[in-house]
Amino acid sequence: MNLRPEQLAAQLDKPLAPLYVLHGNEPLLVLEAGDAIRAAARKQGYAEREVLVAGQGFRWTELQSAAGNLSLFGASKLVDLRIPNGKPGRDGGEALQRYARHLDDGVVTLITLPEIDWATRKVGWFTTLVEAGIAVELNAPERDRLPDWIAQRLARQQQRAPADALGFIADHVEGNLLAAHQEILKLGLLHPPGDLSLDDVRGAVLNVARYNVDKLRQALLDGDPARCARLLEGLKGEGEAPLLVLWALTSEIRSLANLRQGLDDGQPLPALLKAERVFDERRKQGVQRALPRLPSSALRTAILHAARIDRMIKGLTGGDVWDEFLQLCLRITRSPAPAGR
């Protein structure tokens, strides 16, 4: 059956369906829906999870094997199948149909696809998946609905903005939901809960990266601890807002974490860079130099470190914020490459 995106949360409060199919033209919404299903599976006791990426050379027998290989302790399992190009081929299409017709007890399967064209919607493997499970199409809102989408996201962080401010953000991001998501998170860092003015929004959105903050991000990617230290000292001396520095560092680290996870899942780097909006050639080169030295574990630790700095800035815990900024930069610039990579 097909489900509207806004219906998914209510469905996940019930016992999970055996099969979910996510597809659409907006990677952010597909990722968030997948995260919601994975979280619901953990909450409902699906302790095991196996990720399969159906890329070139993928053996479709692995899909049935993944569903059948439950632990000796009888734990329920989530099979997380990703088909990045949305084209499983003849063998894959046949395997998906067989799989959907014989779903195993104790197994929830999540299949993630890109945007599905009208012709693919009619082929046997896709129609069989939709009939056997729950399909959710996740597309970016039309331009005239984007301000409402931004308002809903601001409400999640207990913020509100007038129509002209919402329109300003929508115009600035040009329909790119990943960009809008980043701007909304930044507003949450820079301003407390409550009402935002047009000036608040304009100042935050236009000041995407102050000159020295942008240099700090590049030094982080380049693995240059000495330059990071000099730039942090300069930012501190100029009275730069710690929240803006934290936003710059955190957004870069989260981007690296998403790229690292995608590479670990077998996805191609060019597509990942496009999804993370890494278009500037110098930044792209910096990212490509940084990723080999940064395992997922180091990036997860860095994100937790950034969260601790956020608590310091808010006065919830003690510590020297600027010293912690330096330690965070050192953690990223000096992280050794993992064994075998």
**For the chain, which residues make up each domain, given as ranges?**
2-137, 143-206, 211-333
The whole-angstrom separation of Cα 293 and Cα 321 is 26
- pLDDT reported for residue 206: 57
CATH code of the domain made up of 2-137: 3.40.50.300
CATH code of the domain made up of 143-206: 1.10.8.60
The whole-angstrom separation of Cα 187 and Cα 192 is 8
Question: What's the DSSP call for residue 113?
Answer: -
Q: Which tens digits make up the pLDDT trace of 105-134?
A: 788 999 999 988 888 888 999 999 999 999
Q: Which tens digits make up the pLDDT trace of 72-103?
A: 445 688 999 999 888 898 999 999 999 998 88
- pLDDT reported for residue 277: 81
CATH code of the domain made up of 211-333: 1.20.272.10
State the chain's maximal CA–CA distance in angstroms.
Answer: 65
Name the H helices within 174-320.
Answer: 177-190, 198-206, 211-222, 225-237, 242-264, 269-275, 281-290, 296-313
- pLDDT reported for residue 175: 66
Q: Dihedrals φ, ψ of 187, to 5°?
A: -60, -35
For the chain, what is the mean pLDDT?
Answer: 86
* Between 272 and 67, residue with greater pLDDT: 272
Q: Which tens digits make up the pLDDT trace of 261-280?
A: 999 989 999 888 888 888 77
Taking Cα atoms as reference points, which of 334, 341, 280 lies closest to residue 302?
A: 334
Contact 110, 118 (CB under 8 A): no
Q: 211-222 and 225-237 helices cross at what angle (nearest 10)?
A: 160
In DSSP notation, 7-74 reads GHHHHHTSSPPSEEEEE-S-HHHHHHHHHHHHHHHHHTT--EEEEEE--TT--THHHHHHHH---TT-
Q: Dihedrals φ, ψ of 333, to 5°?
A: -75, -25
pLDDT at 250 over 80: yes
Contact 137, 23 (CB under 8 A): yes
The whole-angstrom separation of Cα 248 and Cα 232 is 12
